[in-house]
Structure 1
Amino acid sequence: MTTATPPPSRTRHKGRLFDWRLLVGVAVVGALLALSLATGVYDIRGADDGGEMFAITRIPRTVALVLAGAAMAMSGLVMQLLTQNRFVEPTTTGTTEWAGLGLLTVMILLPGASIGTRMAGAILAAFVGTMVFFLFLRRVTLRSSLIVPIVGIMLGAVVSSVSTFVALRTDMLQNLGVWFAGSFTSVLRGQYEPLWIVAVVAVAVFVVADRFTVAGLGEEISTNVGLNHNRVVLLGTTLIAVATGVVTVVVGNLPFLGLIVPNIVSMFRGDDLRGNLPWVCLLGIGIVTVCDLVGRTIVMPFEVPVSLILGVVGAVVFILLLLRQRRRG
Protein backbone atom coordinates (compact mmCIF):
# COMPACT_ATOMS: atom_id res chain seq x y z
CA MET A 1 0.00 0.00 0.00
CA THR A 2 1.39 3.40 -0.92
CA THR A 3 1.11 6.39 1.34
CA ALA A 4 0.13 9.76 -0.08
CA THR A 5 2.65 12.54 0.46
CA PRO A 6 1.21 15.60 2.24
CA PRO A 7 1.43 18.94 0.48
CA PRO A 8 4.81 20.68 0.83
CA SER A 9 3.28 23.62 2.72
CA ARG A 10 2.29 21.28 5.54
CA THR A 11 5.54 19.33 5.76
CA ARG A 12 8.06 22.14 5.58
CA HIS A 13 10.29 22.03 8.68
CA LYS A 14 8.29 19.05 9.97
CA GLY A 15 9.91 17.38 12.95
CA ARG A 16 12.12 20.37 13.70
CA LEU A 17 10.28 22.07 16.50
CA PHE A 18 13.38 23.74 17.91
CA ASP A 19 16.43 24.74 15.90
CA TRP A 20 19.14 27.36 15.98
CA ARG A 21 16.95 29.93 14.24
CA LEU A 22 14.45 29.75 17.07
CA LEU A 23 17.26 30.23 19.59
CA VAL A 24 18.38 33.33 17.69
CA GLY A 25 14.81 34.61 17.78
CA VAL A 26 14.64 33.98 21.53
CA ALA A 27 17.85 35.99 21.98
CA VAL A 28 16.51 38.90 19.90
CA VAL A 29 13.18 38.99 21.73
CA GLY A 30 15.03 38.69 25.04
CA ALA A 31 17.06 41.78 24.12
CA LEU A 32 13.83 43.66 23.29
CA LEU A 33 12.33 42.68 26.64
CA ALA A 34 15.49 43.83 28.43
CA LEU A 35 15.18 47.15 26.59
CA SER A 36 11.56 47.35 27.72
CA LEU A 37 12.66 46.91 31.33
CA ALA A 38 15.16 49.74 30.92
CA THR A 39 12.79 52.16 29.13
CA GLY A 40 10.64 54.64 31.00
CA VAL A 41 10.33 58.18 32.25
CA TYR A 42 10.94 57.37 35.90
CA ASP A 43 14.59 57.21 36.93
CA ILE A 44 14.75 53.79 38.55
CA ARG A 45 18.53 54.01 39.02
CA GLY A 46 18.80 57.43 40.65
CA ALA A 47 15.63 57.53 42.75
CA ASP A 48 15.54 56.14 46.27
CA ASP A 49 12.47 54.05 45.49
CA GLY A 50 13.74 53.05 42.05
CA GLY A 51 13.88 49.35 42.88
CA GLU A 52 10.32 49.38 44.19
CA MET A 53 9.01 51.22 41.14
CA PHE A 54 10.89 48.76 38.91
CA ALA A 55 9.04 45.88 40.57
CA ILE A 56 5.68 47.65 40.53
CA THR A 57 5.68 48.96 36.95
CA ARG A 58 8.48 47.72 34.70
CA ILE A 59 8.40 44.00 35.45
CA PRO A 60 4.58 43.65 35.28
CA ARG A 61 4.48 45.63 32.03
CA THR A 62 7.13 43.47 30.40
CA VAL A 63 5.47 40.24 31.55
CA ALA A 64 2.16 41.57 30.20
CA LEU A 65 3.82 42.22 26.82
CA VAL A 66 4.94 38.59 26.71
CA LEU A 67 1.60 37.09 27.71
CA ALA A 68 -0.69 39.38 25.68
CA GLY A 69 1.46 39.25 22.54
CA ALA A 70 1.72 35.47 22.61
CA ALA A 71 -1.99 35.01 23.39
CA MET A 72 -3.38 37.16 20.57
CA ALA A 73 -0.94 35.82 17.99
CA MET A 74 -1.79 32.27 19.01
CA SER A 75 -5.54 33.01 18.89
CA GLY A 76 -5.18 34.27 15.32
CA LEU A 77 -3.33 31.11 14.30
CA VAL A 78 -5.99 28.80 15.73
CA MET A 79 -8.83 30.82 14.24
CA GLN A 80 -7.22 30.83 10.79
CA LEU A 81 -6.87 27.05 10.89
CA LEU A 82 -10.46 26.45 12.00
CA THR A 83 -11.90 28.80 9.37
CA GLN A 84 -9.42 27.80 6.64
CA ASN A 85 -8.87 31.48 5.97
CA ARG A 86 -5.68 33.50 6.45
CA PHE A 87 -7.47 36.83 6.91
CA VAL A 88 -9.34 36.14 10.14
CA GLU A 89 -8.35 36.81 13.74
CA PRO A 90 -10.20 38.07 16.84
CA THR A 91 -10.38 41.68 15.59
CA THR A 92 -11.66 40.73 12.11
CA THR A 93 -14.32 38.30 13.35
CA GLY A 94 -15.98 40.48 15.99
CA THR A 95 -14.59 38.46 18.93
CA THR A 96 -12.90 41.50 20.48
CA GLU A 97 -16.03 43.64 20.06
CA TRP A 98 -18.13 40.96 21.75
CA ALA A 99 -15.65 40.80 24.63
CA GLY A 100 -15.96 44.59 25.02
CA LEU A 101 -19.75 44.31 25.05
CA GLY A 102 -19.57 41.66 27.75
CA LEU A 103 -17.24 43.81 29.83
CA LEU A 104 -19.54 46.82 29.41
CA THR A 105 -22.58 44.78 30.43
CA VAL A 106 -20.91 43.56 33.62
CA MET A 107 -19.80 47.08 34.55
CA ILE A 108 -23.34 48.40 34.08
CA LEU A 109 -25.06 45.61 36.03
CA LEU A 110 -22.32 45.26 38.67
CA PRO A 111 -20.45 48.58 38.98
CA GLY A 112 -18.19 47.25 41.73
CA ALA A 113 -17.42 43.96 40.03
CA SER A 114 -14.04 42.37 40.63
CA ILE A 115 -11.61 41.82 37.79
CA GLY A 116 -12.50 38.12 37.82
CA THR A 117 -16.19 38.89 37.30
CA ARG A 118 -15.36 41.32 34.49
CA MET A 119 -13.21 38.69 32.84
CA ALA A 120 -15.97 36.11 33.13
CA GLY A 121 -18.39 38.46 31.36
CA ALA A 122 -15.89 39.29 28.63
CA ILE A 123 -15.00 35.62 28.07
CA LEU A 124 -18.65 34.54 27.92
CA ALA A 125 -19.52 37.28 25.45
CA ALA A 126 -16.42 36.52 23.33
CA PHE A 127 -17.39 32.84 23.22
CA VAL A 128 -20.96 33.66 22.17
CA GLY A 129 -19.74 36.09 19.52
CA THR A 130 -17.22 33.66 18.06
CA MET A 131 -19.84 30.92 17.89
CA VAL A 132 -22.21 33.33 16.14
CA PHE A 133 -19.47 34.01 13.61
CA PHE A 134 -18.87 30.30 12.99
CA LEU A 135 -22.60 29.58 12.68
CA PHE A 136 -23.05 32.50 10.30
CA LEU A 137 -20.07 31.31 8.32
CA ARG A 138 -21.67 27.92 7.72
CA ARG A 139 -24.56 29.61 5.97
CA VAL A 140 -22.38 31.70 3.68
CA THR A 141 -22.18 30.05 0.29
CA LEU A 142 -19.32 32.21 -1.00
CA ARG A 143 -16.25 31.14 1.00
CA SER A 144 -13.61 33.24 -0.75
CA SER A 145 -10.69 34.56 1.25
CA LEU A 146 -12.22 38.06 1.28
CA ILE A 147 -15.85 37.25 2.04
CA VAL A 148 -15.08 35.60 5.39
CA PRO A 149 -13.25 38.55 7.05
CA ILE A 150 -15.77 40.99 5.55
CA VAL A 151 -18.55 39.06 7.29
CA GLY A 152 -16.60 39.15 10.55
CA ILE A 153 -15.86 42.87 10.28
CA MET A 154 -19.55 43.58 9.57
CA LEU A 155 -20.64 41.58 12.62
CA GLY A 156 -18.01 43.34 14.72
CA ALA A 157 -19.22 46.73 13.51
CA VAL A 158 -22.79 45.91 14.52
CA VAL A 159 -21.71 44.80 18.00
CA SER A 160 -19.47 47.86 18.36
CA SER A 161 -22.41 50.10 17.46
CA VAL A 162 -24.55 48.43 20.11
CA SER A 163 -21.77 48.89 22.68
CA THR A 164 -21.39 52.56 21.77
CA PHE A 165 -25.14 53.16 22.04
CA VAL A 166 -25.37 51.43 25.43
CA ALA A 167 -22.29 53.28 26.70
CA LEU A 168 -23.73 56.58 25.53
CA ARG A 169 -27.04 55.97 27.29
CA THR A 170 -25.32 54.90 30.52
CA ASP A 171 -22.69 57.66 30.52
CA MET A 172 -19.83 55.16 30.07
CA LEU A 173 -18.62 56.19 26.64
CA GLN A 174 -15.29 57.43 27.97
CA ASN A 175 -14.69 54.16 29.81
CA LEU A 176 -15.43 52.24 26.62
CA GLY A 177 -12.83 54.27 24.76
CA VAL A 178 -10.24 53.55 27.45
CA TRP A 179 -10.96 49.80 27.38
CA PHE A 180 -10.46 49.61 23.62
CA ALA A 181 -7.38 51.84 23.61
CA GLY A 182 -5.05 48.84 23.86
CA SER A 183 -2.34 50.25 26.10
CA PHE A 184 0.06 48.83 28.68
CA THR A 185 0.26 52.13 30.57
CA SER A 186 -2.00 51.03 33.42
CA VAL A 187 -0.47 47.56 33.80
CA LEU A 188 0.84 47.42 37.36
CA ARG A 189 1.65 44.83 39.97
CA GLY A 190 -1.61 43.48 41.35
CA GLN A 191 -3.47 44.10 38.07
CA TYR A 192 -1.67 42.08 35.43
CA GLU A 193 -1.63 38.68 37.20
CA PRO A 194 -4.85 37.39 35.53
CA LEU A 195 -2.92 37.39 32.26
CA TRP A 196 -1.20 34.21 33.44
CA ILE A 197 -4.43 32.46 32.46
CA VAL A 198 -3.43 32.79 28.81
CA ALA A 199 -0.25 30.83 29.55
CA VAL A 200 -2.49 27.90 30.46
CA VAL A 201 -4.40 28.46 27.21
CA ALA A 202 -1.13 28.33 25.24
CA VAL A 203 -0.23 25.00 26.84
CA ALA A 204 -3.69 23.64 26.02
CA VAL A 205 -3.35 24.71 22.38
CA PHE A 206 0.03 23.00 22.13
CA VAL A 207 -1.39 19.77 23.60
CA VAL A 208 -4.25 19.56 21.08
CA ALA A 209 -2.31 21.16 18.21
CA ASP A 210 -2.53 18.07 15.99
CA ARG A 211 -6.33 18.02 16.25
CA PHE A 212 -6.54 21.66 15.26
CA THR A 213 -4.27 20.99 12.29
CA VAL A 214 -6.48 18.11 11.11
CA ALA A 215 -9.64 20.16 11.68
CA GLY A 216 -8.09 22.83 9.47
CA LEU A 217 -8.24 20.40 6.54
CA GLY A 218 -12.03 20.63 6.57
CA GLU A 219 -14.98 18.89 8.21
CA GLU A 220 -15.19 16.07 5.67
CA ILE A 221 -11.53 15.06 5.91
CA SER A 222 -11.36 15.38 9.69
CA THR A 223 -14.51 13.28 10.07
CA ASN A 224 -13.11 10.60 7.76
CA VAL A 225 -10.02 10.20 9.95
CA GLY A 226 -12.17 9.80 13.07
CA LEU A 227 -12.02 13.34 14.47
CA ASN A 228 -15.10 15.00 15.94
CA HIS A 229 -14.88 18.24 13.98
CA ASN A 230 -17.58 20.10 15.87
CA ARG A 231 -16.03 19.25 19.23
CA VAL A 232 -12.62 20.48 18.10
CA VAL A 233 -14.15 23.74 16.81
CA LEU A 234 -15.95 24.17 20.15
CA LEU A 235 -12.69 23.63 22.04
CA GLY A 236 -10.85 26.08 19.79
CA THR A 237 -13.59 28.65 20.21
CA THR A 238 -13.42 28.32 23.99
CA LEU A 239 -9.64 28.80 24.07
CA ILE A 240 -9.85 31.81 21.73
CA ALA A 241 -12.62 33.35 23.85
CA VAL A 242 -10.64 32.91 27.08
CA ALA A 243 -7.48 34.46 25.61
CA THR A 244 -9.35 37.35 23.98
CA GLY A 245 -11.50 38.07 27.03
CA VAL A 246 -8.58 38.14 29.44
CA VAL A 247 -6.41 40.34 27.21
CA THR A 248 -9.30 42.72 26.50
CA VAL A 249 -9.99 43.27 30.21
CA VAL A 250 -6.35 43.70 31.29
CA VAL A 251 -4.78 45.40 28.26
CA GLY A 252 -7.45 46.29 25.71
CA ASN A 253 -7.64 45.82 21.97
CA LEU A 254 -4.53 44.66 20.05
CA PRO A 255 -5.69 44.92 16.43
CA PHE A 256 -4.33 42.79 13.59
CA LEU A 257 -1.71 41.03 15.72
CA GLY A 258 -3.34 37.66 15.15
CA LEU A 259 -3.45 38.43 11.43
CA ILE A 260 0.14 39.58 10.93
CA VAL A 261 2.07 36.97 12.88
CA PRO A 262 0.59 33.65 11.66
CA ASN A 263 0.81 34.77 8.02
CA ILE A 264 4.46 35.75 8.34
CA VAL A 265 5.33 32.46 10.04
CA SER A 266 3.37 30.30 7.59
CA MET A 267 5.16 31.92 4.64
CA PHE A 268 8.39 30.38 5.87
CA ARG A 269 7.28 27.29 7.78
CA GLY A 270 4.02 26.04 6.30
CA ASP A 271 0.81 25.33 8.23
CA ASP A 272 1.76 22.82 10.94
CA LEU A 273 0.31 24.26 14.17
CA ARG A 274 2.53 22.38 16.61
CA GLY A 275 5.73 23.32 14.77
CA ASN A 276 4.66 26.94 14.24
CA LEU A 277 3.31 27.69 17.71
CA PRO A 278 6.67 28.62 19.34
CA TRP A 279 7.48 30.86 16.38
CA VAL A 280 4.05 32.50 16.41
CA CYS A 281 4.25 33.23 20.15
CA LEU A 282 7.80 34.54 19.83
CA LEU A 283 7.03 36.82 16.88
CA GLY A 284 3.85 38.06 18.57
CA ILE A 285 5.85 39.02 21.65
CA GLY A 286 8.49 40.74 19.52
CA ILE A 287 6.02 42.81 17.50
CA VAL A 288 4.04 43.94 20.55
CA THR A 289 7.24 44.85 22.39
CA VAL A 290 8.59 46.89 19.47
CA CYS A 291 5.26 48.74 19.09
CA ASP A 292 5.16 49.41 22.83
CA LEU A 293 8.73 50.74 22.83
CA VAL A 294 7.88 53.04 19.93
CA GLY A 295 4.75 54.23 21.73
CA ARG A 296 6.73 54.96 24.90
CA THR A 297 9.55 56.90 23.24
CA ILE A 298 8.07 58.69 20.22
CA VAL A 299 6.44 61.49 22.29
CA MET A 300 8.14 60.91 25.66
CA PRO A 301 7.20 61.67 28.43
CA PHE A 302 3.73 60.89 27.02
CA GLU A 303 2.72 57.56 25.49
CA VAL A 304 0.98 56.55 22.29
CA PRO A 305 -1.36 53.54 22.73
CA VAL A 306 0.16 50.39 21.31
CA SER A 307 -3.13 49.67 19.53
CA LEU A 308 -2.63 52.80 17.37
CA ILE A 309 0.78 51.64 16.16
CA LEU A 310 -0.41 48.05 15.70
CA GLY A 311 -3.40 49.28 13.74
CA VAL A 312 -1.22 51.20 11.28
CA VAL A 313 1.26 48.35 10.86
CA GLY A 314 -1.52 45.76 10.67
CA ALA A 315 -3.46 47.69 8.04
CA VAL A 316 -0.38 47.92 5.82
CA VAL A 317 0.35 44.21 6.19
CA PHE A 318 -3.32 43.37 5.57
CA ILE A 319 -3.25 45.26 2.29
CA LEU A 320 0.01 43.56 1.26
CA LEU A 321 -1.49 40.16 2.03
CA LEU A 322 -4.55 40.98 -0.07
CA LEU A 323 -2.36 42.03 -2.99
CA ARG A 324 -0.29 38.88 -2.61
CA GLN A 325 -3.44 36.75 -2.56
CA ARG A 326 -4.71 38.52 -5.68
CA ARG A 327 -1.47 37.87 -7.58
CA ARG A 328 -1.69 34.20 -6.66
CA GLY A 329 -5.27 34.09 -7.90
Structure 2
Amino acid sequence: MTNLEKKGVDFIKSHRSTIVLLTILFLLSCCSLFVGVIDIMPADLFNGDPEQMGIFLISRLPRLLAILCTAIGMSVAGLIMQQLCSNKFISPTTGATISSAQLGILLALLFMPASNLWSRTLFAFATAILGTWVFVWFIQRIRFKDLVMVPLVGIMFGNVIGGITSYLAYKYEMTQALSSWLVGHFSLVLKGRYEIVWLTVPLVILAFLFANHFNIVGLGRDFSQNLGVSYNLILFSGFTLSAMITAIDYMKI
Protein backbone atom coordinates (compact mmCIF):
# COMPACT_ATOMS: atom_id res chain seq x y z
CA MET A 1 0.00 0.00 0.00
CA THR A 2 1.43 3.39 -1.00
CA ASN A 3 1.67 6.40 1.30
CA LEU A 4 -1.20 8.08 -0.56
CA GLU A 5 -3.44 5.08 -0.04
CA LYS A 6 -2.50 4.92 3.63
CA LYS A 7 -3.39 8.59 4.06
CA GLY A 8 -6.71 7.94 2.35
CA VAL A 9 -7.50 5.03 4.64
CA ASP A 10 -6.50 7.02 7.73
CA PHE A 11 -8.67 9.93 6.61
CA ILE A 12 -11.68 7.68 6.16
CA LYS A 13 -11.17 6.05 9.57
CA SER A 14 -10.75 9.37 11.39
CA HIS A 15 -13.74 10.98 9.66
CA ARG A 16 -16.00 7.94 9.43
CA SER A 17 -18.87 9.47 11.39
CA THR A 18 -18.71 12.68 9.34
CA ILE A 19 -18.82 10.73 6.09
CA VAL A 20 -21.80 8.73 7.32
CA LEU A 21 -23.69 11.88 8.33
CA LEU A 22 -22.94 13.56 5.00
CA THR A 23 -24.18 10.49 3.16
CA ILE A 24 -27.41 10.47 5.16
CA LEU A 25 -27.85 14.20 4.55
CA PHE A 26 -27.35 13.74 0.81
CA LEU A 27 -29.87 10.88 0.62
CA LEU A 28 -32.49 12.72 2.65
CA SER A 29 -31.96 15.89 0.60
CA CYS A 30 -32.53 13.96 -2.62
CA CYS A 31 -35.67 12.33 -1.20
CA SER A 32 -37.08 15.71 -0.10
CA LEU A 33 -37.03 16.89 -3.71
CA PHE A 34 -39.68 14.36 -4.66
CA VAL A 35 -41.91 14.42 -1.56
CA GLY A 36 -44.55 17.04 -0.88
CA VAL A 37 -48.17 17.99 -1.41
CA ILE A 38 -47.67 16.92 -5.02
CA ASP A 39 -45.37 13.93 -5.40
CA ILE A 40 -42.82 14.15 -8.18
CA MET A 41 -41.69 11.05 -10.01
CA PRO A 42 -38.10 10.93 -11.28
CA ALA A 43 -39.29 9.26 -14.47
CA ASP A 44 -41.54 12.25 -15.23
CA LEU A 45 -38.61 14.63 -14.80
CA PHE A 46 -36.46 12.63 -17.21
CA ASN A 47 -39.34 12.58 -19.70
CA GLY A 48 -39.59 16.38 -19.50
CA ASP A 49 -43.06 16.66 -18.03
CA PRO A 50 -43.66 20.47 -17.94
CA GLU A 51 -45.81 20.45 -14.79
CA GLN A 52 -43.39 18.27 -12.85
CA MET A 53 -40.39 20.30 -14.06
CA GLY A 54 -42.10 23.53 -13.02
CA ILE A 55 -42.75 22.29 -9.49
CA PHE A 56 -39.20 20.94 -9.23
CA LEU A 57 -37.44 24.11 -10.43
CA ILE A 58 -39.74 26.73 -8.91
CA SER A 59 -40.47 25.17 -5.52
CA ARG A 60 -38.62 22.00 -4.55
CA LEU A 61 -35.05 22.86 -5.57
CA PRO A 62 -35.15 26.45 -4.21
CA ARG A 63 -36.59 25.15 -0.93
CA LEU A 64 -33.80 22.60 -0.52
CA LEU A 65 -31.07 25.13 -1.36
CA ALA A 66 -32.57 27.67 1.06
CA ILE A 67 -32.70 25.10 3.87
CA LEU A 68 -29.12 23.97 3.31
CA CYS A 69 -27.73 27.51 3.08
CA THR A 70 -29.67 28.62 6.14
CA ALA A 71 -28.54 25.63 8.20
CA ILE A 72 -24.90 26.05 7.19
CA GLY A 73 -24.99 29.79 7.80
CA MET A 74 -26.59 29.62 11.24
CA SER A 75 -24.23 26.88 12.40
CA VAL A 76 -21.17 28.83 11.22
CA ALA A 77 -22.47 32.06 12.77
CA GLY A 78 -22.98 30.34 16.12
CA LEU A 79 -19.56 28.68 15.94
CA ILE A 80 -17.84 32.01 15.27
CA MET A 81 -19.49 33.63 18.28
CA GLN A 82 -18.70 30.68 20.54
CA GLN A 83 -15.06 30.67 19.46
CA LEU A 84 -14.56 34.40 19.86
CA CYS A 85 -16.16 34.44 23.32
CA SER A 86 -14.77 31.05 24.40
CA ASN A 87 -18.28 30.27 25.59
CA LYS A 88 -20.37 27.38 24.35
CA PHE A 89 -23.64 29.07 25.32
CA ILE A 90 -23.18 32.07 23.03
CA SER A 91 -25.14 32.10 19.77
CA PRO A 92 -27.03 34.61 17.60
CA THR A 93 -30.03 33.95 19.86
CA THR A 94 -28.24 34.65 23.15
CA GLY A 95 -26.08 37.39 21.66
CA ALA A 96 -28.95 39.75 20.73
CA THR A 97 -28.18 39.34 17.01
CA ILE A 98 -31.54 37.86 16.05
CA SER A 99 -33.47 40.40 18.13
CA SER A 100 -31.55 43.21 16.44
CA ALA A 101 -32.26 41.79 12.98
CA GLN A 102 -35.98 41.66 13.85
CA LEU A 103 -35.87 45.33 14.82
CA GLY A 104 -34.24 46.16 11.49
CA ILE A 105 -36.97 44.36 9.57
CA LEU A 106 -39.64 46.29 11.49
CA LEU A 107 -37.92 49.63 10.84
CA ALA A 108 -37.79 48.82 7.14
CA LEU A 109 -41.52 48.01 7.15
CA LEU A 110 -42.30 51.25 9.01
CA PHE A 111 -40.14 53.78 7.16
CA MET A 112 -39.91 52.09 3.75
CA PRO A 113 -43.15 50.14 3.28
CA ALA A 114 -42.64 49.96 -0.48
CA SER A 115 -39.05 48.76 -0.20
CA ASN A 116 -37.90 45.56 -1.85
CA LEU A 117 -36.20 42.58 -0.26
CA TRP A 118 -32.68 43.96 -0.69
CA SER A 119 -33.52 47.28 0.99
CA ARG A 120 -34.97 45.46 3.98
CA THR A 121 -31.89 43.28 4.08
CA LEU A 122 -29.72 46.39 4.46
CA PHE A 123 -31.83 47.46 7.45
CA ALA A 124 -31.44 44.00 8.97
CA PHE A 125 -27.69 44.11 8.31
CA ALA A 126 -27.28 47.49 10.01
CA THR A 127 -29.29 46.73 13.14
CA ALA A 128 -27.90 43.19 13.53
CA ILE A 129 -24.32 44.45 13.32
CA LEU A 130 -25.00 47.40 15.63
CA GLY A 131 -26.79 45.25 18.21
CA THR A 132 -24.02 42.65 18.16
CA TRP A 133 -21.35 45.30 18.59
CA VAL A 134 -23.18 46.75 21.60
CA PHE A 135 -23.36 43.23 23.06
CA VAL A 136 -19.59 42.84 22.57
CA TRP A 137 -19.06 46.21 24.24
CA PHE A 138 -21.08 44.98 27.21
CA ILE A 139 -19.25 41.68 27.64
CA GLN A 140 -15.87 43.37 27.40
CA ARG A 141 -16.77 45.27 30.55
CA ILE A 142 -17.91 42.27 32.53
CA ARG A 143 -15.38 41.54 35.21
CA PHE A 144 -16.26 37.89 35.78
CA LYS A 145 -16.84 36.26 32.38
CA ASP A 146 -18.06 32.85 33.47
CA LEU A 147 -20.05 30.51 31.24
CA VAL A 148 -23.41 31.72 32.57
CA MET A 149 -22.95 35.47 32.95
CA VAL A 150 -22.10 36.27 29.32
CA PRO A 151 -25.17 34.59 27.74
CA LEU A 152 -27.39 36.05 30.48
CA VAL A 153 -26.25 39.53 29.51
CA GLY A 154 -26.99 38.72 25.88
CA ILE A 155 -30.45 37.35 26.72
CA MET A 156 -31.33 40.42 28.79
CA PHE A 157 -30.08 42.80 26.11
CA GLY A 158 -31.95 40.82 23.45
CA ASN A 159 -35.16 41.01 25.49
CA VAL A 160 -34.79 44.78 25.76
CA ILE A 161 -34.49 45.04 21.97
CA GLY A 162 -37.37 42.60 21.58
CA GLY A 163 -39.50 44.75 23.88
CA ILE A 164 -38.78 47.84 21.78
CA THR A 165 -39.66 45.89 18.63
CA SER A 166 -42.94 44.67 20.13
CA TYR A 167 -43.86 48.16 21.34
CA LEU A 168 -43.29 49.71 17.91
CA ALA A 169 -45.16 46.87 16.21
CA TYR A 170 -48.21 47.30 18.48
CA LYS A 171 -48.14 51.08 18.26
CA TYR A 172 -48.08 51.20 14.47
CA GLU A 173 -50.24 48.07 13.99
CA MET A 174 -47.45 46.14 12.32
CA THR A 175 -47.67 43.02 14.46
CA GLN A 176 -49.14 40.83 11.76
CA ALA A 177 -46.76 42.09 9.08
CA LEU A 178 -43.77 41.51 11.34
CA SER A 179 -44.98 38.04 12.34
CA SER A 180 -45.09 36.98 8.70
CA TRP A 181 -41.34 37.63 8.50
CA LEU A 182 -40.50 35.79 11.70
CA VAL A 183 -42.29 32.50 11.08
CA GLY A 184 -39.67 29.79 10.84
CA HIS A 185 -40.85 27.85 7.80
CA PHE A 186 -39.78 27.36 4.20
CA SER A 187 -43.14 26.77 2.55
CA LEU A 188 -43.07 30.21 0.89
CA VAL A 189 -39.58 29.75 -0.54
CA LEU A 190 -39.97 29.89 -4.32
CA LYS A 191 -37.84 30.86 -7.27
CA GLY A 192 -37.30 34.61 -7.09
CA ARG A 193 -37.60 34.76 -3.28
CA TYR A 194 -34.67 32.72 -2.06
CA GLU A 195 -31.70 33.98 -4.11
CA ILE A 196 -30.62 36.26 -1.28
CA VAL A 197 -29.44 33.24 0.72
CA TRP A 198 -26.64 32.83 -1.83
CA LEU A 199 -24.90 35.67 0.03
CA THR A 200 -24.35 33.15 2.81
CA VAL A 201 -21.90 31.19 0.64
CA PRO A 202 -19.15 33.86 0.29
CA LEU A 203 -19.57 34.84 3.95
CA VAL A 204 -19.11 31.22 5.07
CA ILE A 205 -16.04 30.91 2.82
CA LEU A 206 -14.67 34.11 4.36
CA ALA A 207 -15.27 32.65 7.83
CA PHE A 208 -13.24 29.55 6.94
CA LEU A 209 -10.40 31.72 5.59
CA PHE A 210 -10.14 33.57 8.91
CA ALA A 211 -10.84 30.53 11.10
CA ASN A 212 -7.28 30.49 12.47
CA HIS A 213 -7.53 34.16 13.44
CA PHE A 214 -10.79 33.50 15.26
CA ASN A 215 -9.16 30.62 17.14
CA ILE A 216 -6.26 32.86 18.19
CA VAL A 217 -8.56 35.67 19.37
CA GLY A 218 -10.55 33.13 21.36
CA LEU A 219 -7.45 32.45 23.44
CA GLY A 220 -7.38 35.99 24.78
CA ARG A 221 -6.10 39.51 24.12
CA ASP A 222 -2.54 38.96 25.36
CA PHE A 223 -2.09 35.76 23.37
CA SER A 224 -3.37 37.46 20.22
CA GLN A 225 -1.09 40.45 20.58
CA ASN A 226 1.93 38.21 21.16
CA LEU A 227 1.22 36.54 17.81
CA GLY A 228 0.75 39.88 16.04
CA VAL A 229 -3.02 39.53 15.60
CA SER A 230 -5.16 42.63 16.11
CA TYR A 231 -7.53 41.52 18.86
CA ASN A 232 -10.25 44.16 18.50
CA LEU A 233 -10.20 44.12 14.69
CA ILE A 234 -10.63 40.34 14.42
CA LEU A 235 -13.14 40.30 17.28
CA PHE A 236 -15.46 42.87 15.74
CA SER A 237 -14.91 41.49 12.23
CA GLY A 238 -15.94 38.03 13.40
CA PHE A 239 -19.07 39.30 15.13
CA THR A 240 -19.91 41.42 12.08
CA LEU A 241 -19.59 38.35 9.87
CA SER A 242 -21.82 36.36 12.21
CA ALA A 243 -24.40 39.16 12.31
CA MET A 244 -24.52 39.43 8.51
CA ILE A 245 -25.02 35.68 8.10
CA THR A 246 -27.81 35.73 10.68
CA ALA A 247 -29.55 38.67 9.01
CA ILE A 248 -29.43 36.96 5.61
CA ASP A 249 -30.92 33.78 7.00
CA TYR A 250 -33.74 35.81 8.55
CA MET A 251 -34.50 37.40 5.19
CA LYS A 252 -34.98 34.08 3.37
CA ILE A 253 -38.72 34.67 2.90
Is TM (by shorter chain) over 0.5?
yes
Q: Which amino acid aligns with 1:198?
A: T
Structure 1, residues 202-249: CA drift from partner, whole Å, max 9, x if none? 100111111011011011111111110111012102211110111111
Question: Compared with structure 1, are the counterparts of its residues 210 and 48 closer, same or farther at alpha carbon in structure 2 (3 Å cutoff)?
Answer: closer
Pick one of 100, 103, 112 that aligns with 1:101.
103
Pick one of 11, 21, 24 that aligns with 2:20.
24
Pick one of 88, 91, 98 that aligns with 2:90.
88
Pick one of 105, 111, 114 that aligns with 2:113.
111
CA distance in 1 between partners of 2:134 and 2:122 (Å): 18
1:48 to partner: Cα distance: 6.2
1:42 aligns with 2:44: no
1:152 to partner: Cα distance: 0.6
Q: Which amino acid aligns with 1:169?
A: K
Residue 250 of structure 1 aligns to a residue in which SS? Answer: coil
CA distance in 1 between partners of 2:167 and 2:231 (Å): 37
Cα pair 1:104 1:176 within 8 Å, conserved: yes
1:44 to partner: Cα distance: 3.2
Q: In the TM superposition, what are the counterparts of 1:136-151 in structure 2 within 5 Å?
A: 136-151=138-153
Give unpaired runs (5+ residues) of structure 2: 1-10
Moved more, 19-28 or 54-63: 19-28
CA distance in 2 between partners of 1:234 and 1:150 (Å): 20
CA distance in 2 between partners of 1:207 and 1:115 (Å): 29
Q: Which amino acid aligns with 2:53?
A: G
Q: Which amino acid aligns with 2:102?
A: G
User: TM-score under structure 2 normalisation?
Assistant: 0.89
1:20 to partner: Cα distance: 4.2
CA distance in 2 between partners of 1:228 and 1:238 (Å): 15
Aligned length: 237
1:218 aligns with 2:220: yes
Q: What is the aligned-residue RMSD (CA, Å)? A: 1.9
Q: What is the match of residue 183 of structure 2?
A: 181
Residue 142 of structure 1 aligns to a residue in which SS? Answer: coil
CA distance in 2 between partners of 1:44 and 1:248 (Å): 29
Q: What is the match of residue 6 of structure 2?
A: none
CA distance in 2 between partners of 1:121 and 1:114 (Å): 11
Cα pair 2:106 2:169 within 8 Å, conserved: yes
Q: What is the match of residue 297 of structure 1?
A: none
Residue 188 of structure 1 aligns to a residue in which SS? Answer: coil
CA distance in 2 between partners of 1:126 and 1:138 (Å): 18
1:141 to partner: Cα distance: 1.5
Give unpaired runs (5+ residues) of structure 1: 1-15, 252-329
Cα pair 1:195 1:246 within 8 Å, conserved: yes
CA distance in 2 between partners of 1:250 and 1:186 (Å): 9
